[in-house]
Structure 1
Amino acid sequence: MSRIEKKKKLILIISTSILTLFFVYNAAYFYVRNSYHSYITNFDTTIKHFSYHKINTTKHYIANVKYPSYGSFTGNLAINTENNDYGLIIWPKYNSELEISLQGSIDSPVEDNEQHIQLNNGSIDLTHSSLPKDTQTIVLKLEEEAKLLWGDDILKNADRI
């Protein structure tokens, strides 16, 4: 085999490998992205195929579903109070632990670890929380609304996705 033929064969192998990796990566991305469709039932479009929202004025919350951006495997679900003072952000993840975070205007300072909320058996655990009682009540109400909207198992590990 001549030297030129060896180079052509090597280039062909490298090109085929790169193209295969590209297709596998994109297939995995679109599979994960497709799994978010179940979260947007009866939601309005903010940006088609990127972000959806739902406003419930009788229960006083705003919900949002953000699809994973291209190349990312994580989107998020958010449920906020109507005035946007408090919100829970849920990051369902594929084959890893779900993360949930509290965002909002908290009157008294809290510990750094209060940003990420602890879960226990698919429910928010505030037993060791330094959040004020009224904030804890709001967090639990948002948890309840999230479970009504996306299902009771939404705060369990991301086996759904």
Structure 2
Amino acid sequence: MLVADPHSPDFNTYASVDDLRTFAAGRGYTIPSDDGECGQLLMQAMDYLEGKSWRGQRSHTSQPLSWPRTGVRFDGVDLPDDAIPQRLVDAQCRLAIEAQEIDLTPSVAGGVAVTMERVEGAVTVQYEPGTNKASPSFPWFYSALRGLVVGGNQIRIERG
């Protein structure tokens, strides 16, 4: 069961199924009609998000998820230490949509299975479909969460 209330001890998601439906409808994405399937996609997206490094610190050491956070500034404004940024909710929804097609957190990193190799003047290599277990890359992710997440070729500059 999804619990999107950060004040609940069972808090386990930033986005609700309704958030996912609104996000998908507004952008023309197709998602399952079953709420349970949508919930599973959102949990897969949460697993991906919880693997990231975030700016600031958790608001409470006992909170189950990385957000809400303190010490996060975006565009010169301190973000409230008790809120989940809408951009984070949207990112979870977008990842849930991606999870319909790919495994967001593959358990085995490595190459794909080669099914054929031939050398005759030029090299031909054929790979087994669906065997690439490398971590997925989402070009939109770091730009959508700019200022919230650490990474994506971002550097922190502070005046001492």
Q: Which has the higher contact order (CA 8 A, sep 6+)?
A: 2
**TM-score normalised by L of structure 1:** 0.26
More helix by proportion, 1 or 2?
1
More strand by proportion, 1 or 2?
1
Larger radius of gyration: 1
